Amino acid sequence: MRKRRDAPASELELMVRARALANRTVAEIARALNWPLPEDPKRAKGFVGQLIEAALGADPMAGELPDFPHLGVELKTVPIGPTGRTVESTFCCSIAMADVDREVWCSSRLRQRLARVLWMPVTGARFASLGERMVGKPVVWSPSAEEDASLRADWEDIIGSMARLGYVTAHLGSVMQARPKAANASVRQLGVDEMGATRLLPLGFYLRAPFTARIVAQP
């Protein structure tokens, strides 16, 4: 049976667990928790993130709350490529399409999710086998005033475009972007544009790779 650790009692305990995973391979962590490695690469998507969640005691039922609701800490697993850089953008949260004309930055879902984040870099993405990938040094992070201002500016541009036009392009935003979440382009959810209620493609906020690279590179 797959094992999952109990929730940590404090942020300090969480960081002790996170540091204990550093320099361990995915195969080693999976073996300790009795998680079999997926044999089919197509079934491996999301496996590393789920494994680290289990090893740290994240709440699998957190939903739209942070992964450690009682601590207010979100967990983000970041794949690192052969050059030592992040290889893809990082999903933050879905966009409440029906509320885009009413949300404000200070109380937004995105700001709440990014208030406190534990970043777990995983090296070996795109060049090492799943089991050989290795967890790097964890970083616990809260946005600085400058980072918060950059996130807010992008958020206001993206939400403003959606409220006015009913759509947004992935090119908008310097440190983050909005992209479709649905695998099927025919999927729609209730949203708002300048004409009122409409059906829109579900979107999510994603941090751009250079932004997350600066975070995980912190000493």
Q: Quick check: is 21 in a domain?
A: yes
What does the pLDDT read at residue 201? 66
Q: Quick check: is 48 in a domain?
A: yes
Look-up of token digits 């403003």: 160
Query: Binning pLDDT at 50, 70 and 90, where does residue 186 land?
Result: very low
Q: Compute the distance between CA of residue 107 and CA of residue 154 in angstroms, rounded to an integer.
A: 15
Q: Quick check: is 120 in a domain?
A: yes
Cα–Cα separations (whole angstroms), residue 184 to 26, 53, 91, 188: 31, 27, 18, 9
Q: Quick check: is 1 in a domain?
A: no
Q: Quick check: is 139 in a domain?
A: yes
- Nearest CA to 51 among 74, 85, 26? 26
What does the pLDDT read at residue 200? 52
Q: Quick check: is 91 in a domain?
A: yes
Taking only the tens place, the pLDDT of each residue in 156-168 is 999 988 877 777 8
Taking only the tens place, the pLDDT of each residue in 110-140 is 999 999 999 999 998 778 899 999 999 999 9
- Nearest CA to 139 among 5, 18, 11? 18
What does the pLDDT read at residue 13? 99
User: How many structural domains comprise the chain?
Assistant: 1
CB 137 within 8 A of CB 23: no
Helix (H) or strand (E) holding 215: helix 209-216
Least confident span in 108-112, 178-182, 192-196, 203-207? 192-196
High-pLDDT (> 70) share of the chain, %: 90
What does the pLDDT read at residue 188? 40
Structure tokens at 167: 């759509």
Q: Compute the distance between CA of residue 172 and CA of residue 194 in angstroms, rounded to an integer.
A: 19
Strand pairing report for 134-135 and 117-123 = antiparallel
What does the pLDDT read at residue 127? 80
Q: Quick check: is 84 in a domain?
A: yes
Mean local confidence (pLDDT), 30-47: 89
Strand pairing report for 203-207 and 90-94 = antiparallel
Q: What domain range includes position 18? A: 11-216
Q: Is the pLDDT of residue 202 over 80?
A: no
Query: Binning pLDDT at 50, 70 and 90, where does residue 190 land?
Result: very low
Taking only the tens place, the pLDDT of each residue in 52-108 is 999 999 999 998 899 999 999 999 999 998 888 898 999 999 887 777 777 899 999
Per the model's pLDDT, the better-predicted residue between 92 and 40 turns out to be 92
Query: Binning pLDDT at 50, 70 and 90, where does residue 169 land?
Result: confident
Q: Is 6 exposed, middle or buried (0-12, 13-18, 19+ CB in 10 A)?
A: exposed
Cα–Cα separations (whole angstroms), residue 138 to 28, 56, 77, 176, 187: 17, 12, 10, 22, 36
CATH number at residue 127: 3.40.600.10
- Nearest CA to 72 among 111, 13, 113, 105? 113
Q: Quick check: is 107 in a domain?
A: yes
Query: Binning pLDDT at 50, 70 and 90, where does residue 203 land?
Result: confident
3 state DSSP class of 78: strand
